[in-house]
Chains A and B, each alone.
Chain A
Amino acid sequence: MLSAIPLLIVLSIVSFGLIRSLPGDPVDAMMGGNTRDIDPRELQAIRNEFGLDQPLPKQYFSWLKGFIGQGELGRSYQDNRKVLVVIGERIPATLTLVGLSLVLTFTNGILWGLFMVTVRFKFKNALVEAPFLTTALLLHSVPAFFLGLLVIYVVTLVPAFHVIPLFGPLRGDEVAIPANLVRFAFLPALTLALNRSAKVALFVRSLALDEITKGYVTTALAKGLSNSQVVLRHVARNCLVPVISLLALSLPTLIGGSVLVETIFAWPGTGRLAVEATFGRNFPVMTTLVMIYGTMVVLSNLVADILVGLADPRIGQNLMDRAQQRPGRSF
């Protein structure tokens, strides 16, 4: 658990390094690449103001000191507001989106996976299961942003779906009601979840198929339980632990996917902010976002570690080590 602290320090160095690995001059990025037209003395003054004329390690420590001391991580190049304020106003939207899609991903994915296993177990015939498996494989391999466009296309075509809002909240007062926010988040969250839940379903299916060969399943069947009872009561419970660690691993994937999905659905979250910061070469915002996302991922890995330990005390560090090896594809 203590390994999280050096990880966070490395993270801060890496994200700070991103500003400075900018080819050329940060001031040039601030001015939108028009430094040739500006008086060199003024450029020097800006450099002085942002402390850019100091040596690199010194800049890093004063940046870190600013964060620990005053909770400030610099100012946005775009409007000179505090970076944390700029990001802070986007966070509720992204948390709603990612939270909702996490819930949708796992309810949908686990149920779907168990359903496929039950069908296969019951009919003893791969052909009955095939349509569900093929759908899962297809959904898993389609790029998330194309899925988003398809979702929009389908919703616009079918009149019954017109009650679902297509795009994010347009007016400020619409966001104030939490139920409204969830309503607006539904389509983007569904898009994110569809892609990932196919992965979860395939994962649950492959775990459960391994479990089914074990002795306790035969015992349960001999006891007179039905096929679906065995899957739901015994097999599902034994698949729980790896699914929990997949839950933690899904977070970076969902956050990454949210960048594209927020862009498609005009969702006012941090993902879109990241895209805007990329285009505007707004490095303080980018750096802080990298830092925040990284911290979230480190923390979620910690939480998963604890949850896995609670769910099955026999598993120590082992599973988590394995789990960290693969952060998964992000879109």
Chain B
Amino acid sequence: MTTISAVSTNKIPTQFWRRSNARISIALCLIGVLALLPFLAPLVHPVIPPITPAHVNLTATNIPPFTDNHLLGTDSLGRDVLGMALWGSRTSLALGLLAALLAVTFGSLWGAVSSLVGGLIDTVMMRIVDGLLAIPPLILLLALSALVNGPAFPETLPRALLTLFDVTSYSLGFLPFVTVISVIAATSWLEAARVAHAKISAIRLEEYVEAARALGAGTLVILFRHLVPNASRIIMIQATLLISDAIVMEAGLSYLGIGLSPDTPSWGTMLRQASSDLFLGNWWAPLVPAALISWTVLSVELLGEGLLEAIGHDDRLR
């Protein structure tokens, strides 16, 4: 790569390549560090059941950073900030990845099917997306959370699902994790649907698709052999950008008290608990999760924008 940029004297393309490449490599470094956190958790802060990462210790509250045993201090409940942040990275990153995956899979399927079927169904399907897009995302998120946060909600689910999510009469198990992911995905699949629809509609009319059809390929073959591979780049970038959105959304939901349960360590639940600690003079407990969330957002957006720039797609209006 260095040889190319050194040899090339053509100013604009060089600048262009340098800019997007620099962004992508910085972003990958930042993401690399983030990706290590979940694996560091058991090494740096091992926990032996029944003690959990969110173990409360009221004899060691608000300990400042860089003291023995507590590298990043403790919060007002005496929980180790470093340990919580590391174990929380597992929840937050898994949640971001799963929600983005779910949203992008559903959204691009919706967009692709709509584009392929065409006609009135296409119009109706895309109008639904337009209508939902007009609702501010957080309002939609709140409305959907209202649906799944009632006391009667677990009773409406099939028993097999409840056992799967470890729901008992005194604990909701994994259910909040699953509902938060579903609610976030249900809010953010719309953009993916639009992008997939636009992309598939554009390449559906290309000659090679027509050639494939002339050779006798069916709709499904064309979809998975020709359309999906060609649309996959832009859809993957969309998914990348959704990861950071999902993590921020989880933090917002947890802050409002309709996200994960407080004893599940995640950056969002940490921030909710620690935000009131700020007024006890404890600035380190909220700073750590906030910094980690910002780190994720920054690196993911840098990566997304770098990739979009590299494939020549203008997406600055985000």
Contacts and interface: CB of A to CB of B under 8 A. Distances in A.
Interface of A: 6-7, 10-11, 13-15, 18, 21-25, 28-29, 33, 137-138, 140-146, 149, 153, 156, 203, 206-207, 213, 242, 245-246, 249, 252-253, 255-257, 259-260, 263, 274-275, 277-279, 281, 283, 286-287, 289-290, 293-294, 297-298, 301, 322-331
A24 B156 contact: yes
Given A206-B316, A294-B134, A145 B142 contact: no
B159 interface: no
B298 A146 contact: no
A118 B194 CA distance: 36
Contacts, number: 185
Interface of chain A: mostly helix, strand, loop or mixed = helix
B138 A256 contact: yes
Choose among A203, A263, A279 the residue with the greatest number of B CB atoms under 10 Å from its CB: A279
B316 to A, nearest CB: 6
Contact of B133 (A15, A242, A327): A327
Contacts of B156: 23-24
B146 A143 contact: no
Given A22-B147, A138-B294, A278-B145, A257 B317 contact: no
Contacts of B139: 255-256, 259, 274, 289-290, 293
Interface residues of B, number: 58
B138 A149 contact: no
Choose among A140, A249, A294, A330 the residue with the greatest number of B CB atoms under 10 Å from its CB: A330
B317 A142 contact: no
Contacts of A213: 12
Given A10-B128, A246-B317, 16 more contacts: A13-B131, A14-B131, A21-B147, A24-B155, A143-B293, A249-B317, A252-B134, A256-B136, A260-B256, A275-B142, A275-B256, A278-B256, A294-B131, A298-B134, A325-B317, A326-B318
Contact of B271 (A6, A29, A137, A146): A146
Contact of A23 (B147, B257, B258, B298): B147
Given A275-B256, A322-B317, A330-B137, A143 B131 contact: no
A11 B135 CA distance: 8
Contact of B152 (A11, A33, A278): A33
Given A286-B146, A326-B318, A11 B131 contact: yes
A325 B194 contact: yes
B131 A10 contact: yes
Contacts of B152: 23-25, 28-29, 33
B140 interface: yes
Interface in B242-293: 245, 248-249, 251-252, 255-258, 271, 275, 278-279, 283, 286, 290, 293
A324 B131 CA distance: 12
Given A253-B136, A328-B318, A281 B146 contact: yes
A10 B135 CA distance: 11
A283 to B, nearest CB: 7
29 contacts: A6-B127, A10-B130, A14-B132, A18-B144, A21-B147, A24-B155, A24-B156, A25-B152, A33-B151, A140-B298, A145-B252, A153-B278, A153-B279, A156-B279, A249-B317, A259-B139, A260-B255, A275-B256, A277-B146, A278-B145, A278-B146, A281-B146, A281-B150, A283-B146, A293-B135, A294-B134, A326-B318, A327-B137, A329-B248
A297 B130 CA distance: 11
A17 to B, nearest CB: 10
Choose among B152, B195, B198 the residue with the greatest number of A CB atoms under 10 Å from its CB: B152
A290 B134 CA distance: 9
B301 A330 contact: no
Given A11-B131, A138-B294, A145-B252, A259 B150 contact: no
B148 interface: yes
Given A29-B150, A137-B298, A278 B128 contact: no
B137 A286 contact: no
Contacts of B153: 23-24
Given A146-B290, A329-B248, A203 B316 contact: yes
Choose among A141, A281, A327 the residue with the greatest number of B CB atoms under 10 Å from its CB: A141
Contacts of A146: 271, 275, 286, 290, 293
